[in-house]
Amino acid sequence: MGPYMASPVSLAPLITANVLVHQRFGVVSGMLAVTFMLGFAISPTLAAMVWEFGGYDLVIELAILTAIIGLCAPIMSDKMEK
């Protein structure tokens, strides 16, 4: 099961290079990495602030809402493009 679990990690740079650019791959890959790394860094603090304000249920609801928005964003951008 090990090689199958790691395949998305090894495919991400290949997809980035093929879909976006071949030139300056490091710059583009770094810019993409900064966005999710900021999310990883900020999310525990934001979750703690939400927890103090509305409790743990609100944290779970906002996490689900964020996942739904993230799932719908590519679909909506595809519709806007047409």
Dump pLDDT digits (tens) for 19-54: 766 777 778 778 878 988 998 899 999 999 999 999
**Tens-place pLDDT, residues 3-20:** 555 566 667 677 767 776
Query: Number of folded domains in the chain?
Result: 1
Tokens of 16: 């980035």
pLDDT at 74: 81
- Domain containing residue 57: 2-81
Give residues with Cβ within 8 angstroms of 16, minimum separation 6.
25, 28, 29, 32
36 within 8 A of 48, measured Cβ to Cβ:
no
Q: What is the pLDDT of residue 62?
A: 94
Per-residue pLDDT, 5: 59
Q: Tell me the whole-structure pTM to 2 decimals.
A: 0.60
